[in-house]
Amino acid sequence: MISFTCYNVTDDRFSKFKNKGKDSAKRREKRIEVCVQLRKAQKDEEVCKRRNMSMSSVVDEEALSPEYISDEKVASLSIEDIIKEVKSSCRESQTRGCQAARKLLSQERNPPMKEIIDAGLLSCFVAFLGMDDEPSLQFEAAWALTNIASGTPWHTQQVVDHGAVQPFISLLTSPHLHIREQAVWALGNIAGDGPHYRDALIDCGVIPAILALTCSSLQVGYLRNITWTISNLCRNKNPFPPLSAVQQLLPCVTQLLHHSDQDILCDSCWAISYLTDGDNDRIDIVVKTGIVPRLVELMGHDELSVMTPALRSIGNMVSGSDLQTQMVIDAGVLAMLPRLMRHPKASVQKEAAWALSNIVAGPCKQIQQVITCGLLPLLVELLRTGDFKTQREAVWAVTNFTSGGTVEQVVQLVQSGALEAIIDLLQVKDAKVILVILEAINNMLLAAEKIRETEKLTLLIEEMGGLDRIEMLQNHSNEMVYQAAHNLIEKYFADVSELYNALQLSVTRV
Amino acid sequence: MATVAGKKAKKAEEEEQPAAAAAAAAEEEEEEEYVVEKVLDRRVVKGKAEFLLKWKGFSDEDNTWEPEDNLDCPDLIAEYMQKHKEKEEKKKEGKRKAASEASGDSEERGSKRKKEEGEKARGFGRGLQPERIIGATDSSGELMFLMKWKNSDEADLVPAKEANIKCPQVVISFYEERLTWHSYPTEEEEKKEEEKKD
């Protein structure tokens, strides 16, 4: 409690003070009450901080249920009452009604979006957006419309069709930070609906307006919203965002990638992942910003929410040209992969295996780098112990390796245990995977031929139980599988199973 | 040695086994000719194709690379190319984009977000009108006021710096309410205090 000592005062003024006339017991009581409130508010603030961006537990659970009638005068107006208030000509009523609508639309379960829309309130809210002399009203309307736009495509369409886009873009220059922030959020929801609205916003000039906000804003919460909305402007394909838009947004995104806040990093990485999820020209635009080393660094971030989109972005980039892949390798990706290939989360292992499969689809020089970094044993580990989706990616890695690798490299691959591991996988149900494995085996035999070790390899395959499996695959229901299996047998194992084949063929011809 | 031998590799059309035919043809000719038994590998050097050849009657240690132009064993080469054609095509398809395979059901980020009650909206960000300040604290290192808002029972903390600008009258009321008055001690009373301490 603060108190001041003051001298030289007249009785007149003294008698007007609040505490005059109250006994000390009452004043003490009041002080205690305020202290308790202060402590509670501080505790709640700390809880909010710890929970980061998640829904605050500060909010009274009771207040979320529709039956709750709080002391707040506007909490649970019926929609009818809301309509009356909002459509009145009195500013205070409008604010009360709009706030009540906002609260309903903010409730956790079943916000009455359709009812609000059917009540014809959207045009009122949109009109409120333009009332620069009534910032409270603007804010409530902006929030209400944000939440409606967060619904289904139909809901978002309602917001757009009622003309909200231009007013929201105008609000990006509001003198009030919380209103600008709300407009950013609403526009993010509209952009996130799909490429159509995204491009419509871009045509309305949303990008320069949003970029202008990033210059001055340092408040983390505000910047988080901006980053998320920017990521939605980068999002979606068919079509991709216009190249000019991407060129404008990228410098900002690359800057945000150097921020330390994890939510900002998360959404910035997602933005990059969207921009790199395309043909090599799109990847090129991103790679040229020089952001690759930072992305590789973020692959090692402690937070899954940051590491996942960083890994996706890198995975996208190594699906590009050999040159683009080399840049990613030069940035140190191979050193980051082991941890990810051993990550407790299966989807991380899978994406790491996918990225690796694309790296080894490159020239033998890049394959050599993979070997040098000790990734072969890890690949074999994934083949043996990964979940099926991971194993599938790992199988692709093996086949790509055998396709581009030199004979020496293929020998090393076989020696690492990969051949045995893929032979074990021949019993899976997925026909495509079987085909990929058979191709790998075929490539290995082609390599063996070059150094005249075909017999050695066929013997090895037989010892590993591969011959039996491949023979059985000649009966597989999938035509391509039995064809491929048959070709393999005929080319390399004919002398072993010639007789068997002859019998087999004569039977099936009937 | 290599260049001469390459020219001599021929195949008789009726024979099934090119190597054997070449051998048969070679037997009828001079003994210095060398016969290609098999084409093992292909590479491109300075824009020109070369093939790795296994020579009949020689061990693998004597395998050599020969320029394509010097060779006259089209069928052996055709056999090799056929075997490896599929492999070359597959190699170009080696890279697989995200949409096709890996990312199908992986993590994604929500495309839309609803703003819920109380979420991040604190202090002046809630857009409410200040009613009065009911307390103050500086335990966080910064002076904060506990603000009661109009039409709300939820009070929360706002930085004094912000409040001083946004609602100065409210701040002044707060300070005025808490002024406590002490009468100024006379000189005699001060001396008594000092004597007591001694």
- CATH code for A332-509? 1.25.10.10
In tens, the pLDDT along A253-299 reads: 999 999 989 999 999 999 999 999 999 999 999 999 999 999 999 99
Cα A378 to Cα A147, A338, A343, A407, B106: the distances in Å are 46, 7, 12, 21, 22
For residue A128, which amino acid is it? F
Q: Which residues of B touch A107 (CB under 8 A)?
A: 116-117
> In the numeric block, which tokens belong to residue A405?
């690798």
Residue A449 φ/ψ, nearest 5 degrees: -55, -40
pLDDT over 50 (residue A60): no
Mean predicted confidence (pLDDT) in A97-124: 94
Size of interface A-B (CB pairs under 8 A): 204
Cβ–Cβ of A277/B99 closer than 8 Å? yes
Bridge-based pairing of strands B144-149 and B130-137 is antiparallel
Q: Looking at per-residue confidence, does A457 or A59 come out higher?
A: A457
> In the numeric block, which tokens belong to residue A384?
């043996």
Cβ–Cβ of B184/A151 closer than 8 Å? no
A76-193 is a CATH 1.25.10.10 domain: yes
Question: Considering only A137-141, A389-393, A405-409, A499-503, which range has the smallest mean pLDDT?
Answer: A499-503
Q: Looking at per-residue confidence, does A90 or A503 come out higher?
A: A90
Please say whether the beta carbons of A341 and A378 come within 8 A.
yes
Question: Considering only A13-17, A30-34, B159-163, B172-176, which range has the smallest mean pLDDT?
Answer: A13-17
Q: Which residues, in sequence order, are bridge partners of residue B36?
A: B55
CATH T-level assignment (fold) for domain A208-321: Leucine-rich Repeat Variant (1.25.10)
pLDDT over 60 (residue A370): yes
pLDDT over 90 (residue B127): no
In this prediction, residue A220 has a pLDDT band, given cuts at 50, 70 and 90, of confident
- Look at residue A209 in the predicted model and tell me its pLDDT: 97
- Look at residue A435 in the predicted model and tell me its pLDDT: 97
The shortest C-alpha distance from A38 to chain B (Å) reads 7
Cβ–Cβ of B156/A56 closer than 8 Å? no
- Look at residue A3 in the predicted model and tell me its pLDDT: 43
- Look at residue A73 in the predicted model and tell me its pLDDT: 43
CB-closest option in B40, B107, B176 to A308: B107
Cβ–Cβ of B156/A45 closer than 8 Å? yes
Q: Which residues of B touch A221 (CB under 8 A)?
A: 120, 125
- Look at residue B151 in the predicted model and tell me its pLDDT: 76
**Where is B173: in which H helix or E strand?**
helix B168-177
For an interface test with B, which of A159, A370, A446, A454 has the most B Cβ atoms less than 10 Å from its Cβ? A446
Q: Looking at per-residue confidence, does B141 or A134 come out higher?
A: A134
The mean of the pLDDT values for chain A is 88
pLDDT over 50 (residue B12): no
CA dist., res. A22 & res. A41, Å (int): 27
CA dist., res. A122 & res. A82, Å (int): 12
Question: Considering only A13-27, A209-223, A346-360, A399-413, which range has the smallest mean pLDDT?
Answer: A13-27
CA dist., res. A423 & res. A467, Å (int): 9
Question: Considering only A194-203, A401-410, A499-508, B127-136, which range has the smallest mean pLDDT?
Answer: A499-508
**SS3 readout for B72-135:** CCHHHHHHHHHHHHHHHHHHHCCCCCCCCCCCCCCCCCCCCCCCCCCCCCCHHHHCCCEEEEEE
Lookup result for tokens 């009455």: A112
Cα A472 to Cα A383, A443, A486: the distances in Å are 22, 20, 10
pLDDT over 90 (residue B90): no
pLDDT over 50 (residue A57): no
- Look at residue A89 in the predicted model and tell me its pLDDT: 93
Which of A65-74, A376-385, B67-76, B126-135 reaches the highest mean pLDDT? A376-385
CB-closest option in B54, B84, B115 to A106: B115
Please give the model's pTM, rounded to 2 decimal places. Answer: 0.70
Cα A185 to Cα A51, A143, A210: the distances in Å are 20, 9, 11
Q: Which residue does chain B place closest to A59, by CA atoms? A: B118
In this prediction, residue B60 has a pLDDT band, given cuts at 50, 70 and 90, of confident
Mean predicted confidence (pLDDT) in A48-76: 42
- Look at residue A12 in the predicted model and tell me its pLDDT: 53
Q: Which residue does chain A place closest to B134, by CA atoms? A: A34
The shortest C-alpha distance from B81 to chain A (Å) reads 12
In this prediction, residue B72 has a pLDDT band, given cuts at 50, 70 and 90, of confident
Percent with pLDDT over 90 in chain A: 77
Lookup result for tokens 């000509």: A89
- Look at residue A423 in the predicted model and tell me its pLDDT: 98
- Look at residue B11 in the predicted model and tell me its pLDDT: 38
CA angle A178–A180–A184, rounded 5-degree value: 115
Residue by residue, DSSP assigns A53-100 as TSPPS-S-GGGGSTT---SSTTTT--HHHHHHHHHSS-HHHHHHHHHH
In chain A, which segments carry CATH 1.25.10.10?
Answer: 76-193, 208-321, 332-509
Mean predicted confidence (pLDDT) in A201-215: 95
Q: Which residue does chain A place closest to B83, by CA atoms? A: A446
pLDDT over 60 (residue B171): yes
- Look at residue A494 in the predicted model and tell me its pLDDT: 81
- Look at residue B119 in the predicted model and tell me its pLDDT: 54
Mean predicted confidence (pLDDT) in B107-134: 81
Question: Considering only A192-201, A294-303, B29-38, which range has the smallest mean pLDDT?
Answer: B29-38
The shortest C-alpha distance from B156 to chain A (Å) reads 6
- Look at residue A74 in the predicted model and tell me its pLDDT: 43
Please say whether the beta carbons of B65 and B50 come within 8 A.
yes
In tens, the pLDDT along A158-175 reads: 999 999 999 999 999 999
- Look at residue A497 in the predicted model and tell me its pLDDT: 52
Radius of gyration of chain A (CA): 32
Please say whether the beta carbons of A271 and A253 come within 8 A.
yes
- Look at residue B94 in the predicted model and tell me its pLDDT: 84
In this prediction, residue B87 has a pLDDT band, given cuts at 50, 70 and 90, of low
Cβ–Cβ of B111/A63 closer than 8 Å? no
CA dist., res. B52 & res. B61, Å (int): 12
Cβ–Cβ of A354/B96 closer than 8 Å? yes
